Chains A and B, each alone.
Chain A
Amino acid sequence: MNSLANISIATAVMLLSACGTPVAISDYYKADTASLQRYARMAVIEESDTHSGGLQELGTVTGIYCKGGVALTHQEKRVEAIDQLLLKAAQRGATHISEPACTASGVDLANNCPNKVVCKAQAMQVR
Chain B
Amino acid sequence: MQESKIKDLTPILRNPNYFNNLNALENSSGNLQLSLRRSKSNFRNLALIAAHRGDTERPENNMKQLCCICMISINVLLIQGCGSPFYMGQHPSTWYRESASDIPQNIASLEKIAIRPSNIRPRLIVDRDHEGPTGDEVVLGTLAGIDFAGEMVSEDASGVLLLPIVLPLAMVAGAISGSMRAEIMEAQKESADQLLKFEHLPIPSEVMAEQVQSYFAEAPVIDSVLITAADPAPDDVDAIMTIEVQSLHIGITGHDASMTLTAVAELRGKDRSTISNRRVFNYTVKNTVTEWVVNDSERWNEFVNDAIHYFATRISEELFQKIRVRHVLRPIDTDTRTHTPMLAWELILLGGDNYADWEQPIEAEEARYTLEIYQADRLVYSANHIDGTRHTVQKPLPACTSFRWSVPPIYPMGNKTRAGNWMRERSFGLVIAETVPHVTLARNQRKHYPKFKTPCRAIK
Number of interface residues of A (CB under 8 A): 38
* Cβ contacts under 8 Å, A113 to chain B: 81-83
Closest-CB distance, B421 to chain A (whole angstroms): 13
Does chain A have a CB within 8 A of B157?
A: no
* Cβ contacts under 8 Å, B330 to chain A: 29
Q: Which of A6-14, A45-53, A54-62 contacts B (4 or more CB under 8 A)?
A: A6-14
Contact of A1 among B63, B70, B346, B349 (CB under 8 A): B63
Once the chains are docked, how many angstroms separate the CA of A97 from the CA of B36?
58
B73 touches A15 (CB 8 A): yes
Does chain A have a CB within 8 A of B436?
A: no
Q: Assuming the A-B contacts A12-B73, A68-B78, are A27 and B90 also in contact, with contact meaning beta carbons closer than 8 angstroms in the complex?
A: yes
Q: Which of B67, B81, B88 has the most CB of A within 10 A?
A: B81
Interface positions of B (Cβ within 8 A of A): 43, 60, 63, 66-67, 69-71, 73-74, 77-84, 86-91, 93-94, 97, 328, 330, 346, 348-351, 426, 429
Look across to chain A and name the residue whose beta carbon is closest to the beta carbon of B348.
Answer: A36
Contact with B along A1-40 (1 / 0, CB 8 A): 1101100110110011011001101111101010011011
* Cβ contacts under 8 Å, A41 to chain B: 351
* Cβ contacts under 8 Å, B351 to chain A: 40-41
Interface positions of A (Cβ within 8 A of B): 1-2, 4-5, 8-9, 11-12, 15-16, 18-19, 22-23, 25-29, 31, 33, 36-37, 39-41, 66-70, 79-80, 83, 112-115
* Cβ contacts under 8 Å, B94 to chain A: 28, 80, 83
Q: Assuming the A-B contacts A19-B82, A68-B81, are A12 and B346 also in contact, with contact meaning beta carbons closer than 8 angstroms in the complex?
A: no
B60 touches A114 (CB 8 A): no
Look across to chain A and name the residue whose beta carbon is closest to the beta carbon of B79.
Answer: A68
A22 touches B82 (CB 8 A): yes
Look across to chain B and name the residue whose beta carbon is closest to the beta carbon of A109.
Answer: B82
Q: Assuming the A-B contacts A28-B350, A37-B348, are A8 and B70 also in contact, with contact meaning beta carbons closer than 8 angstroms in the complex?
A: yes
B348 touches A40 (CB 8 A): yes
Q: Which of A11, A18, A27, A112 has the most CB of B within 10 A?
A: A27
Closest-CB distance, B402 to chain A (whole angstroms): 22
CB-based closest 4 A-B pairs: A68-B81, A8-B70, A67-B81, A22-B83
Look across to chain B and name the residue whose beta carbon is closest to the beta carbon of A41.
Answer: B351
Closest-CB distance, B38 to chain A (whole angstroms): 16
* Cβ contacts under 8 Å, A33 to chain B: 346, 348
Once the chains are docked, how many angstroms separate the CA of A66 from the CA of B86?
10
* Cβ contacts under 8 Å, A4 to chain B: 63, 67
Look across to chain B and name the residue whose beta carbon is closest to the beta carbon of A22.
Answer: B83
* Cβ contacts under 8 Å, B79 to chain A: 68-70
